Amino acid sequence: MTSNLAAVSYGVNLSPESLDNVRKVLADAGAEVSSESQSGDHRFGVHTAGLAVDAITPEALTSIRRRVAEAADAGVDTAIVPEDLRQAPRKLLIMDVDSTLIQQEVIELLAAYAGKRDEVAAVTEAAMRGELDFAQSLYARVEVLAGLPAAVVDSVRAEVRLSLGAAELVAAFKEAGHAVAVVSGGFNQILGPIAEELGLDYWIANELEIVDGALTGRVLGDVIDRAAKEKYLRKWAAAEGIDLQHTIAVGDGANDLDMLGAAGIGVAFNAKPAVRAVADAVINMPYLDAVRHIANV
């Protein structure tokens, strides 16, 4: 029987016992394993099982994903991915930036220069959990930056570190001929140089207002919020002629939920509980390039 799904298991503690557990859950869900392969490296292991499942409806796919997630061993996650996506000739990878593409939250780095890091971090956490309106929380956080010299932007840019495996992930997608985009609730002044260095196809973030060499505490134009992230996913996929079912979205916060839900597969990367609970797949280790294995790139 031809595989129509893949079960991609990955983790730093990928053991024979944990894989036996995955196989049992899949069998109980009516999924027949038709092939198996191993990959990964010294950081984490990867096991991919081709699955043949009758009548794959969205409801059936959700049910299998839930059953596998609920039975997962500690340190091991399994993504259930349609083979149609994994075998697509062209795909679009779209990612959040703060705490996804990069390790930090830029607004918190900026706020540190105003002596407000802890205060701003608390608001950011609440916004990422979905407890606050994102746009209003952004305005409040940016307001504390008023009067800071514009030079702090350069200082913060130097502090930013890509997530482990981020550069390798982007390079792999680009080398294979796929499109890569990022959409951020952060700031163009920080994201621009990163996007250029990585060779991203598309990117957008908010614009900090700078007047007479100082931050005004305001952002220019429309805020890149939850709805905007989904909008740009759809816009860029259409521009590339890529079916929405062949897109992979990765994020960590509540403002990523619409984007994750609209993509062919939505991946929660070291995400807040509310995001992990509804994402199609989760990555609970610091290696962003695990997305390569999910997408078969």
Residue 179 DSSP label: E
For residues 91 and 81, what is the distance between their CA atoms, to the nearest angstrom? Answer: 14
Which one-letter amino acid corresponds to residue 58? P
What Å distances lie between residue 267 and 56, 77, 141, 189, CA to CA? 20, 11, 27, 26
**Integer CA distances (angstroms), 99 to 78, 162, 288, in order:** 21, 9, 11
Which one from 73, 77, 96, 280 is the annotated catalytic residue? 96
Cα 169 from Cα 151, distance rounded (Å): 31
Record the tokens describing residue 192, joined without a space: 């621009």
Candidates 73, 77, 98, 258; catalytic one: 98
Question: Does 225 qualify as catalytic in the annotation?
Answer: no
User: Do residues 248 and 92 lie in contact, with contact meaning Cβ atoms separated by under 8 Å?
Assistant: yes
User: Is there a catalytic annotation at residue 98?
Assistant: yes
Helices vs strands, H then E, count in the chain: 13, 11
Nearest to 250 by CA among 101, 74, 122, 33: 101
The answer for 30, left when phi > 0, alpha when psi is -120 to 50, beta otherwise, is left
Q: Which two tokens stand for residue 176?
A: 């294979």
3-state helix, strand, coil in the chain (%, to 5): 40, 25, 30
Please state, in angstroms and rounded to a whole number, the distance separating the CA atoms of residues 100 and 191. 13
> Would you please indicate which residues are annotated as catalytic (active-site) residues?
96, 98
